[in-house]
Amino acid sequence: MANEHAADADDLALYRQSIDNFDAALIHILAERFKITQKVGALKARSGMPAADKDRERAQIQRLRTLAASADLDPDFSEKFLQFIVTEVIRHHEQLQR
């Protein structure tokens, strides 16, 4: 029984390390994404384009819902995650337009 608990603790530590690695990768990917969206925001501000593009948002949500389903991830979760990101991007774009 003690060996089982030790093995479980080792497995848990490995799983948590993997989760930590994925979290770090997500942060770096998000940072790179926001660097590009800042460039998009600056371009939109220069060109007088609106901060938000509802058609693009709808297309992106549908695309990510499809990707999520094919990756066996809850499409509703992926939509909420993207919506959170898009809201933040639009906020940045609006700041650039001021």
The CATH number for 65's domain is 1.20.59.10
d(CA 59, CA 53): 10
- 86 falls within a domain: yes
Q: Identify the pLDDT of residue 32.
A: 98
**pTM for the whole thing?**
0.82
- 36 falls within a domain: yes
- 72 falls within a domain: yes
Query: In degrees rounded to 5, what are phi and psi of residue 52?
Result: -105, 150
- 82 falls within a domain: yes
Q: Identify the pLDDT of residue 3.
A: 78
Token pair of 1, please?
């029984």
Q: Identify the pLDDT of residue 31.
A: 97
Q: What is the mean pLDDT of residues 16-34?
A: 97
Output the average pLDDT for the chain. Answer: 94
| Range of the structural domain that residue 76 is part of | 29-97
Q: Identify the pLDDT of residue 56.
A: 95
Token pair of 75, please?
């499409």
